Amino acid sequence: MQGRAALAPIALLLVAMLSIQGGASLAKSLFPLVGAEGTTALRLGLGAVILALIMRPWRAHLSLEGGQALLAYGLALGGMNLLFYMALQTVPLGIAVALEFTGPLALALFSSRRALDFAWVALAIFGLWLLLPGDATNSRLDPLGAALALGAGLCWTLYIVFGQKAGAAYGRQTVALGTLVAALLVMPIGLWQAGASLFALDLLPVALAVAVLSSALPYSLEMVALTRLPTRTFSVLMSMEPAIAALSGLLLLGERLDWSQWLAIGAIVLASAGAAATIRPKGTPL
């Protein structure tokens, strides 16, 4: 019975990662209709409505200090989603996620204090070197798309930093409030890009599915898993996400990667998992 209880949150986390990447694959079907910017606006706008109905964020008591962290968290969330979807226009899903993953990986490695920690840095840099344009094997990888994915990773880092501060002030309502801020940021950009087609009713079913698969469902499952798993175990399992994204891109979008790109994704997954499993912050006793 205990084994089954331990497997349950792991299964929830795997479902959450599959949901996010499935939602990203589905979102690409909207790009020809409303662009990456319009798709981001639909995802965040509908996601904000869904999360508001579930979490009732109007009950939160806003303060100046908490409000500043919440604003930064929401802006980081909006930027992360917008840049990531823009990267997906020219970069395969698995590679985009791997590049984006370097943001939280760099944040974890920033507290490095042992030689082993720097081995993970070297492994991540090796993976990046294999992915980034510049040699004959990666001539197909769009430089702008790669830069956008790395920018999404930077926003992910800020999302983590300010999310912790906002979460301390607003608890479980932080996600709904932050998604609302993100939607307010991205919606004008989506309207500028897509115009009135953003409100076409025939887009609503797919847009709702993207919002549920990419936001409402995985965020809820991750929260349950996080409360039942040690933080380090949670982080190690999350490191699988670039590999899951690559498989989703292959199965759902027909995105085939060459051996060097699979090797690069594997290196970044291993660096992320190793960092999550072994890094001790500065000042932590051995």
Helix, strand or coil for residue 43?
Answer: helix
CA 180 to chain centre: 17
Question: Are 63 and 254 in contact, with CB atoms under 8 Å apart?
Answer: no
CB 278 within 8 A of CB 119: no
* Cα–Cα distance for residue pair 46/56, rounded to 1 Å: 15
Q: How confident is the model at residue 286 (pLDDT cuts 50, 70, 90)?
A: very low
Q: Which residue has the higher pLDDT, 255 or 279?
A: 255
Query: Is the pLDDT at 240 greater than 60, yes or no?
Result: yes
pLDDT score recorded for residue 231: 66
- Give me the helices (H) in the chain, please: 2-27, 31-55, 64-87, 93-109, 115-131, 143-170, 174-194, 204-211, 217-228, 231-238, 241-253, 259-278
Q: Which residue in this structure is represented by tokens 């990203």?
A: 24
Q: Give mean pLDDT, residues 240-259.
A: 86
Q: Is the dihedral of CA 64, 69, 74, 79 positive or negative?
A: positive
pLDDT of residue 85: 95
Give the pLDDT band (50/70/90) at residue 81: very high
Among 7-11, 53-57, 246-250, the range of highest mean pLDDT: 246-250
- pLDDT tens per residue, range 205-220: 999 999 889 877 887 7
Distances (CA, A) of 12 to 9, 157, 181, 223, 230: 5, 24, 27, 10, 14
Rounded CA separation 29/70 (Å):
31
Instruction: Please compute the mean of the pLDDT values over residues 224-236 and round it to a whole number.
Output: 71
Q: Which residues contact 135 (CB under 8 A, 6 or more apart)?
A: none
Predicted local confidence at residue 83, as pLDDT: 96
pLDDT of residue 253: 86
- Taking the mean position of all CA atoms in its chain, how far away is CA 252? 19
pTM of this structure:
0.84
d(C-alpha 76, C-alpha 158), whole Å: 6
Half-sphere exposure of 31 (CA within 13 A, CB side): 16
Alpha helices in 56-92 (DSSP H): 64-87
φ/ψ (deg, to 5) at 113: -145, 0
Q: How far is CA 152 from CA 19, 77, 194, 215, 281, in A?
A: 19, 9, 22, 16, 25
Over residues 111-132, mean pLDDT: 76
Whether 225 contacts 9, CB under 8 Å: yes
